Structure 1
Amino acid sequence: MEPQGQARKRPTIRDVAAAAGVSRGTVSRVINGGHWVSPGALAAVEEAIKTTGYSMNQHARSLATGRSNSVAFLLTEAQHLLFEDPNFSILLRGAAQALAARGMPLLLMVAGTPDEQKQVLDYVGAGHVDGVLLISSHAGSPVLRSLVRQEIPTIACGIPLGFESTVGHVAADDLGGGRRMTRHLLDTGRTRVATITGPLDTPGGRLRLEGYRTELGDAYDETLVAHGDYTRQGGTAAMRELLERRPDLDAVFVASDLMATGAMQVLRESGRRVPEDVAVGGFDDSGLAATLDPALTTMRQPFERISAEMVRLLLDVVDGADPATITLPTSLVVRDSA
């Protein structure tokens, strides 16, 4: 029994080795990746780590492996969007949970301005993180270009436009989702279906529009298309533009739920009822859609799985694997707006 008030000694590699019946060198190899260790010894060391309560000092691990044992969640948008757009917070939470299960911390970084981008790239380039989860990349992004040039392991959320063959990514099926929502609006009997796109320098902006256009075929009409920026204000401005140009529209596919909130407000202000006069469909289903009045019909992205797969692919790249890509299906969630 330990003397009262005396703290229990922290277990060491020596304690783990004694419990497992192996050398300290074998324990060290297990801790640093398990290379050149027999299955029997590996199992014995892992069990000994559990029974002794051993936990390696992260600084010591970094010195031994040359790694930081941390990952950056890098959002290349203005800071306020981290709080206004629920998609980002869900992706952040999912990535943090996936890394916590592996005993690794997640560093949140926002690089929406040139100064922020330089600071982040200097930090990442100095080796303070092992890799980057890149969120909301735009075509021609100097951040992505720099990450590739510095050979920093990176996995993008969405197709990294311009770097499709060199940077791994996890994406929702934006094109298929755009087609499915457009078809749903047509199936409700609407004949003048408009769309508010996302930014056309983003994969979601391009592919959701392509899905809309493909589903309409010969009925596609440029006058029913307005461009947004994934913000509430962008949805407001685009909806006003559409109503001015095509006051006869009877449905609108909005490429994000946040933009749809602005669009629905404009429709109400114009005296149009949703869905009686104008049916509205969104894209995301990150929690916002169900809170709107009327509740928003939308395409659901599997955000939790996107986060988990991004973490898995990134850690594979950090360990030397080639970049991989995954496209996950979206699903239609029908509510009151359409």
Structure 2
Amino acid sequence: MRVTIAEVARRARVSKTTVSRVLNNKSDVDAATAIRVREVIAATGYIPSAGAVGLAKGRTNTVGMLVPGLTWPWMGDVLQGVADVLEAKGYGLLLNTVNRGADSMTQFARHVSAKAFDGLLLVEPPDTLSYIETLHESGLPVVMIDDRGHHRGFPSVATSNRAGAASAARHLAAAGRDRVVMITGPADFGCTVERIQGFRDVLVEKVLVEGDFTPEGGLAAIREVIADGVEFDAVFAQNDMMAIGALDALREAGRSVPDDVAVIGFDDITLATHAVPALTTVRQPSREMGEAAATMLLDHLLDGVPLPEEPHVVPTTLVVRESA
């Protein structure tokens, strides 16, 4: 059975607040009491929670983060940007995923109830928004990363999906490519809609195929288009993973890239530079987005700077490589 701070306080014959002050190395606890409390902690194997450590000082110096999972290709860059900012300010990070579904959310809710963190960074997992909005309305500072175009007015850091897609279309148009297959993300993602709109601001695609942001989705999309006999001279895939799948399908079909077909992705993940040929792509500034979100949240927690109602937008950049 897990030892609680209440059990430590009972055995040491002090209050929970005194235990917390000992854990925080406060100087206003007399030496004999501090020694007794530490002896009980050692004897019981008590491991303090973030809430217990922060009880006396009114904050935990910890930021919570909730993400769908860690397998998204750009998630590592987001986390590194967050960690760089938090570590520089002496803050810790309590990371939660939803890999185990309801069980994961139950554990996250326990952290919320225990006040284990001072504010929350969020890459929105499916079906969690109403709960997060309730937390925000109850006073928990929340900043969303990559708002997918859904949540205007909610504190967030986003990227310029529409402008990024438009830059890809301009690049293809300048090269005389006008028979474009666009492979989109899932239709219910705001970023999918914005990238379609941005591309169409410049150039109308010949064929649009819905994908799923996986290499398999890109492979299947191009196989389908080739099987249907569609003539095309370019592919715009709405993320790099689908673009890499598209490259595989074109290689399989004997199409030369970029001579026969130009290919552009979106994200600029590490694999983009190692694709064959190296992938032209729209760079989504994932690390900078993490840095901006963490900075926004800490400015609010430490200095009282109001969280903005409009998204903070970190711009995309077209990175030209061999595939286009």
* TM-score (structure 2 length as normaliser): 0.76
Specify the alignment match of 2:238 in structure 1: 255
Match of residue 289 from structure 1: 272
Q: Counterpart of 1:109 in 2: which secondary structure?
A: strand
Aligned to 1:148: 133
Task: Tell me the distance in 2 between the aligned counterparts of 1:113 and 1:238.
Answer: 30
Shift of 1:326: 0.8
Alignment match, 1:129: 117
Alignment-mate amino acid for residue 153 of structure 1: P
Is the counterpart of residue 75 in structure 1 residue 67 in structure 2?
Answer: yes
**Cα distance change, pair 114–161 in 1 and its aligned pair in 2 (3 A):** farther
Q: 2:158 aligns with which of 166, 171, 176?
A: 171
**1:332 alignment partner AA:** L
Residue deviations 1:268-299, cap 9 Å, x none?
11111111111000111122111111000011
Match of 1:230, SS state, is coil
> Judging changes above 3 Å, is the alpha-carbon distance between structure 1 residues 313 and 176 closer, same or farther for their aligned structure 2 residues?
same
SS at match of 2:152: coil
Aligned to 1:45: none
Which one scores higher on RCO, CA 8 angstroms, separation ≥ 6? 2
CA distance in 2, matches of 1:231, 1:220: 21
Distance 1:65 1:142, change over 3 A: farther
**Unaligned runs of at least 5 residues, structure 2:** 1-24, 29-49
Partner of 1:323: 307
Whole-Å separation in 1 of the counterparts to 2:219 and 2:95: 30
Q: Which secondary structure state, in structure 1, belongs to the residue aligned with residue 235 of structure 2?
A: strand
When residues 331 and 60 of structure 1 are mapped into structure 2, their CA distance, relative to the original with a 3 A threshold, is same
* Aligned: 1:98 with 2:82: no
Deviations 1:191-234 (A, max 9, x none): 20121112232232221111112212xx454xx11112222222
CA distance in 2, matches of 1:197, 1:336: 22
Residue 153 and residue 200 in structure 1: after superposition, are their counterparts in 2 closer, same or farther (change >3 A)?
A: farther
In structure 2, the partner of 1:27 is none
Aligned residues: 274
Residues 160 and 169 of structure 1 are in contact (CA less than 8 Å); yes or no, is this contact kept in structure 2? no
Amino acid at match of 1:68: T
Task: Compute the displacement of 1:336 (Å).
Answer: 0.4
* Structure 2 counterpart of 1:143, one-letter code: T
RMSD, aligned α-carbons: 2.6
How far apart, in 2, do the equivalents of 1:284 and 1:124 lie? 32
Paired amino acid for 2:178: T
AA in 2 matched with 1:65: K
Q: 1:239 to 1:154 in 2, by over 3 A?
A: farther
Are 2:197 and 1:210 aligned?
yes
Instruction: From the superposition, tell whether residues 226 and 116 of structure 1 become closer, same or farther in structure 2 (CA, over 3 Å).
Output: farther
1:239 aligns with 2:222: yes
58, 73, 78: which one pairs with 1:86? 73
Q: CA deviation at 1:242?
A: 2.8
Structure-2 separation of matches of 1:13 and 1:133: 30
CA contact (8 A) 1:111 1:120 kept: no
Q: How far 1:267 moved relative to its partner?
A: 1.0
Q: Which residue of 2 aligns with 1:271?
A: 254
Q: What is the rounded CA distance, in whole Å, between the counterparts of 1:172 and 1:162 in structure 2?
A: 13
Q: Secondary structure at the match of 2:256?
A: coil
Partner of 2:95, secondary structure, is strand
- By how many angstroms is 1:263 displaced? 1.1
Q: Could you tell me which runs of 5 or more consecutive residues in structure 1 were left unpaired when the two chains were aligned.
A: 1-11, 16-57
- Provide, for residues 96-129 of structure 1, a one-character-per-residue CA deviation record: whole Å limited to 9, x for no partner: 1211111111122211453245324413431222
Please point out which of 64, 75, 98 is paired with 2:56. 64
Q: Distance in 2 between matches of 1:282 and 1:162?
A: 22
Q: Which amino acid aligns with 2:315?
A: P
Residue 336, structure 1, aligned to residue 319, structure 2? no
> What amino acid is aligned across from residue 243 of structure 1 in structure 2?
I
